[in-house]
Amino acid sequence: MKLKVSAAVLAALTLATVPIAVVDATDSTGAGGPRSSLTLIVPGSAGGGYDALARESQQALRANGISGNVQVVNVPGASGTVGMQTLTEMAGQDDTLLVLGSAMVGGIEITQSSLSFDDVTPITSSTTDYSVIVLPDDSPYETTEEFIEAWKQDPEGHPIAGGALGNSDHIAVISLARAVGIDPADVNYIAYSGGGEVLASLLSGTAAAGVSGFGEMSDQIDAQTVRGIGVTAPERVNGIDMPTFNEQGIDVVVPNWRGFVAPPGISAEQQDEIGEILSEMMGTEEWNQAVERNQWEEFIMTGTELDDFIDAEVSNTKSLLEEAGE
């Protein structure tokens, strides 16, 4: 079932949040520029992946004097699209950025939003992590192959718990289903708001399998309450002692990437300056420590490479969600 958000509701939410988001911003011409003041909009609540990236970026920017006054503002709502709508109202303003990524791609589709990445100015991708699919330790299936075969026989009887509809967890499960010959429309996916609820569903027997970021499952994997059967990375990830689906002969690669976009209507010079600021940030020791601490991988693209990547992500996500009936 699709979550439908009317234009009126979205507009009301946006108007409620815009004054908060721009409280420290300059006028619409971006006077003062991003070297003087920079606001990072997070299209979600505190504590999530977008928020972590914004606050780690804030620390690296401040610690190295790359921007004088860096603020983080949370603008949650409608699968992130309220935050994106907020940014589109700041045309030409170069001192405000939005953190977004793969979850926004799915959020736009799930909410049937009229927004698109054409409404903002992509600057750079920055990091990625990958989903892992796990079974409870008492699962009757010992191997990936055993679970896949049982799942193929009875998709409805093997519910899989994960994050919000349209995010990388959901896309990972749909991609896995398609790769092994299961109709994505037959997948019994149970969406939760966070990894804690996914784990509770898994351990209570509500779900046969769970999917989440490795960081949210690593403690339980170490404690052997759950067993990982695969990572959605293209190759082995440092620090994750688990095979990828690729190396098990299953063509599933789903990056949970994140990055930064600017408002529409900025000049090429403004775009270059913002790009340079973020490039400097990602060269700092504070940034390198954040990448390691959060078990991220650097995933940096800019310019036409980033534009082409986003176009492919949008096309693939739309196709998968349509196949799943979302």
User: Is 48 found in the same domain as 73?
Assistant: yes
Please check the confidence at residue 9 and state whether its pLDDT lies above 80. Answer: no
**pLDDT confidence of 4, banded at 50, 70, 90?**
very low
Residue 70 has pLDDT above 50, yes or no: yes
What burial letters (b/e) apply to 237-259, b meaning 16+ CB within 10 Å? beebebebbbeeebebbbbbbbb
164 and 213 housed in the same domain:
yes
Predicted confidence (pLDDT) at residue 11 exceeds the cutoff of 50: no
Structural contact between residues 131 and 232, judged by C-beta atoms closer than 8 angstroms: yes
> Is the pTM above the cut of 0.95?
no
Number of domains in the chain: 2
Which domain range does residue 196 map to?
Answer: 129-248
In this predicted structure, the answer to whether residue 15 has a pLDDT above a threshold of 50 is no
Residues 154, 207 within the same domain: yes
CA-to-CA distance for 229 and 38, rounded, in angstroms?
A: 42
- Determine how many CB atoms are found less than 10 A away from the CB of residue 120: 23
Residue 315 counted as domain residue: no
Q: Are both 11 and 115 inside the same structural domain?
A: yes
Residue 96 has pLDDT above 70, yes or no: yes
> Do 18 and 48 fall into the same domain?
yes
Q: Determine, yes or no, domain membership for 314.
A: no
Is 300 contained in some domain?
A: no
Q: Residue 100 falls within a domain, yes or no?
A: yes
| Residue 239 pLDDT level (bands cut at 50, 70, 90) | confident
